Amino acid sequence: MQKNPGLLRLVRERPRDSEAIEEMTAAAFGPDRFHKTVYRLREDVPPIKDLCFVCLDQKGRLVASIRNWPVLINDKWPAVMLGPLSISPELRGLGYGKALMWHSMAQSRLQGHSRIVLVGDPEYYNQFGFRRDLALHLQLPGWVEERRFLALELVAGAMIGVHGMIGKAASKKTRRKKRT
Protein backbone atom coordinates (compact mmCIF):
# COMPACT_ATOMS: atom_id res chain seq x y z
CA MET A 1 0.00 0.00 0.00
CA GLN A 2 1.34 3.40 -0.97
CA LYS A 3 1.66 6.30 1.43
CA ASN A 4 -0.56 9.32 1.01
CA PRO A 5 1.56 12.21 -0.29
CA GLY A 6 -0.49 14.67 1.75
CA LEU A 7 -1.24 18.14 0.52
CA LEU A 8 0.67 19.11 -2.59
CA ARG A 9 1.23 22.54 -3.95
CA LEU A 10 1.70 22.90 -7.70
CA VAL A 11 3.28 26.15 -8.83
CA ARG A 12 4.82 27.44 -12.00
CA GLU A 13 8.54 26.75 -12.15
CA ARG A 14 10.56 29.60 -10.66
CA PRO A 15 14.11 30.62 -11.67
CA ARG A 16 15.41 29.46 -8.28
CA ASP A 17 14.14 25.92 -9.00
CA SER A 18 16.59 25.20 -11.84
CA GLU A 19 19.36 23.62 -9.77
CA ALA A 20 17.00 21.35 -7.81
CA ILE A 21 15.25 20.30 -11.04
CA GLU A 22 18.57 19.47 -12.69
CA GLU A 23 19.65 17.36 -9.70
CA MET A 24 16.32 15.51 -9.65
CA THR A 25 16.40 14.95 -13.43
CA ALA A 26 20.00 13.69 -13.26
CA ALA A 27 19.01 11.23 -10.54
CA ALA A 28 16.01 10.04 -12.54
CA PHE A 29 17.52 9.81 -16.03
CA GLY A 30 21.30 9.77 -15.62
CA PRO A 31 24.02 11.39 -17.71
CA ASP A 32 23.06 9.56 -20.93
CA ARG A 33 19.87 11.62 -21.17
CA PHE A 34 21.69 14.35 -23.11
CA HIS A 35 22.28 11.94 -25.99
CA LYS A 36 18.61 11.10 -26.44
CA THR A 37 16.66 12.41 -29.42
CA VAL A 38 14.20 14.40 -27.29
CA TYR A 39 17.05 16.26 -25.60
CA ARG A 40 18.41 17.30 -28.97
CA LEU A 41 15.00 18.81 -29.79
CA ARG A 42 15.25 20.84 -26.56
CA GLU A 43 18.75 22.21 -27.18
CA ASP A 44 18.78 25.99 -27.57
CA VAL A 45 14.99 26.12 -27.30
CA PRO A 46 13.44 27.53 -24.13
CA PRO A 47 10.64 25.49 -22.59
CA ILE A 48 7.11 26.86 -22.63
CA LYS A 49 7.39 28.92 -19.45
CA ASP A 50 3.65 28.79 -18.71
CA LEU A 51 3.73 24.97 -18.92
CA CYS A 52 6.62 24.24 -16.57
CA PHE A 53 5.52 23.32 -13.07
CA VAL A 54 6.99 22.08 -9.82
CA CYS A 55 5.40 20.19 -6.99
CA LEU A 56 6.11 21.28 -3.44
CA ASP A 57 5.48 19.02 -0.48
CA GLN A 58 3.91 20.09 2.81
CA LYS A 59 7.25 21.50 3.98
CA GLY A 60 7.71 23.55 0.80
CA ARG A 61 10.42 21.30 -0.63
CA LEU A 62 10.58 20.85 -4.41
CA VAL A 63 9.85 17.16 -4.94
CA ALA A 64 8.84 16.90 -8.62
CA SER A 65 8.83 18.88 -11.83
CA ILE A 66 7.46 18.80 -15.34
CA ARG A 67 8.52 20.78 -18.38
CA ASN A 68 6.97 21.18 -21.81
CA TRP A 69 8.61 22.35 -25.03
CA PRO A 70 7.32 23.78 -28.30
CA VAL A 71 7.80 21.58 -31.37
CA LEU A 72 6.59 21.73 -34.94
CA ILE A 73 5.43 18.68 -36.89
CA ASN A 74 6.29 18.72 -40.59
CA ASP A 75 6.95 22.48 -40.32
CA LYS A 76 3.23 23.19 -40.03
CA TRP A 77 1.50 21.62 -37.02
CA PRO A 78 2.46 23.02 -33.62
CA ALA A 79 2.60 20.61 -30.72
CA VAL A 80 3.84 20.41 -27.16
CA MET A 81 6.59 17.93 -26.30
CA LEU A 82 6.16 16.84 -22.70
CA GLY A 83 9.14 16.04 -20.56
CA PRO A 84 11.02 15.46 -18.58
CA LEU A 85 8.74 14.55 -15.72
CA SER A 86 11.05 14.16 -12.73
CA ILE A 87 10.23 13.00 -9.22
CA SER A 88 12.62 12.73 -6.29
CA PRO A 89 13.65 9.04 -6.35
CA GLU A 90 12.60 8.34 -2.76
CA LEU A 91 9.10 9.74 -3.45
CA ARG A 92 8.15 7.89 -6.62
CA GLY A 93 4.78 6.19 -6.56
CA LEU A 94 3.17 8.67 -4.18
CA GLY A 95 1.16 10.65 -6.75
CA TYR A 96 3.42 13.64 -7.37
CA GLY A 97 3.94 12.73 -11.04
CA LYS A 98 0.24 12.10 -11.60
CA ALA A 99 -0.67 15.45 -10.06
CA LEU A 100 1.82 17.24 -12.30
CA MET A 101 0.67 15.34 -15.39
CA TRP A 102 -3.02 16.16 -14.91
CA HIS A 103 -2.23 19.79 -14.09
CA SER A 104 0.12 20.20 -17.06
CA MET A 105 -2.35 18.64 -19.49
CA ALA A 106 -5.20 20.83 -18.21
CA GLN A 107 -3.07 23.96 -18.49
CA SER A 108 -1.98 22.97 -22.02
CA ARG A 109 -5.63 22.65 -23.02
CA LEU A 110 -6.59 25.94 -21.35
CA GLN A 111 -3.78 27.72 -23.20
CA GLY A 112 -5.09 26.52 -26.53
CA HIS A 113 -2.72 23.68 -27.37
CA SER A 114 -4.30 20.79 -29.25
CA ARG A 115 -1.70 17.99 -29.21
CA ILE A 116 1.09 16.68 -27.01
CA VAL A 117 3.83 14.21 -27.91
CA LEU A 118 6.30 12.44 -25.66
CA VAL A 119 8.73 9.58 -25.41
CA GLY A 120 8.05 7.59 -22.26
CA ASP A 121 6.79 4.34 -20.80
CA PRO A 122 3.34 3.55 -22.19
CA GLU A 123 2.61 1.57 -19.02
CA TYR A 124 2.63 4.91 -17.20
CA TYR A 125 1.46 7.44 -19.80
CA ASN A 126 -1.49 5.43 -21.19
CA GLN A 127 -3.46 6.26 -18.04
CA PHE A 128 -3.44 9.92 -19.12
CA GLY A 129 -4.72 9.15 -22.62
CA PHE A 130 -1.38 9.02 -24.46
CA ARG A 131 -1.46 6.43 -27.24
CA ARG A 132 1.03 4.91 -29.63
CA ASP A 133 -1.43 4.82 -32.56
CA LEU A 134 -1.69 8.62 -32.53
CA ALA A 135 2.06 8.90 -33.17
CA LEU A 136 2.34 6.27 -35.92
CA HIS A 137 2.63 8.86 -38.70
CA LEU A 138 5.18 10.99 -36.84
CA GLN A 139 8.95 10.73 -36.89
CA LEU A 140 11.65 12.02 -34.61
CA PRO A 141 15.06 13.14 -35.91
CA GLY A 142 16.83 10.25 -34.23
CA TRP A 143 16.28 6.81 -32.80
CA VAL A 144 13.64 6.13 -30.16
CA GLU A 145 12.04 2.91 -29.05
CA GLU A 146 8.84 3.05 -31.11
CA ARG A 147 6.51 1.67 -28.44
CA ARG A 148 7.52 4.62 -26.22
CA PHE A 149 6.71 7.32 -28.80
CA LEU A 150 3.20 8.48 -27.83
CA ALA A 151 0.77 11.29 -28.56
CA LEU A 152 -2.35 12.78 -27.00
CA GLU A 153 -5.14 14.83 -28.55
CA LEU A 154 -6.19 17.67 -26.27
CA VAL A 155 -8.82 18.52 -28.87
CA ALA A 156 -10.70 15.60 -30.44
CA GLY A 157 -9.36 14.89 -33.93
CA ALA A 158 -6.24 17.06 -33.51
CA MET A 159 -3.99 14.29 -34.84
CA ILE A 160 -6.07 13.50 -37.93
CA GLY A 161 -3.89 14.02 -40.97
CA VAL A 162 -0.90 15.13 -38.88
CA HIS A 163 2.24 13.45 -40.16
CA GLY A 164 5.94 13.97 -40.67
CA MET A 165 9.09 14.88 -38.83
CA ILE A 166 9.03 16.59 -35.47
CA GLY A 167 11.40 19.50 -35.31
CA LYS A 168 12.24 22.43 -33.12
CA ALA A 169 9.69 25.22 -33.12
CA ALA A 170 11.07 28.47 -34.43
CA SER A 171 11.83 30.96 -31.73
CA LYS A 172 9.98 34.29 -31.75
CA LYS A 173 13.15 35.96 -32.97
CA THR A 174 13.42 33.53 -35.93
CA ARG A 175 9.73 33.93 -36.80
CA ARG A 176 10.12 37.73 -36.90
CA LYS A 177 13.06 37.44 -39.31
CA LYS A 178 11.09 35.14 -41.63
CA ARG A 179 8.21 37.62 -41.88
CA THR A 180 10.40 40.52 -42.98
**Number of residues that make up the chain:** 180
Average pLDDT of the residues in 50-55: 96
Q: Is residue 43 part of a domain?
A: yes
Q: Is residue 1 part of a domain?
A: no
Q: Is residue 167 part of a domain?
A: yes
Predicted confidence at residue 3, as pLDDT, reads 60
User: Can you give the residue range of the structural domain that contains 95?
Assistant: 9-179
pLDDT tens for each residue of 134-163: 999 999 999 999 999 999 999 999 999 999
Q: Is residue 24 part of a domain?
A: yes
State the CATH number of the domain containing residue 16.
Answer: 3.40.630.30
Considering only 1-5, 37-41, 51-55, 57-61, which range has the smallest mean pLDDT? 1-5
Q: Is residue 58 part of a domain?
A: yes
Q: Is residue 134 part of a domain?
A: yes
The domain total for the chain is 1
Q: Which band of pLDDT confidence, cut at 50, 70 and 90, is reported for residue 131?
A: very high
Contact (Cβ atoms closer than 8 angstroms) between residue 114 and residue 158: yes
pLDDT tens for each residue of 84-128: 999 988 888 888 899 999 999 999 999 999 999 999 999 999 999
Q: Is residue 4 part of a domain?
A: no
Q: Is residue 2 part of a domain?
A: no
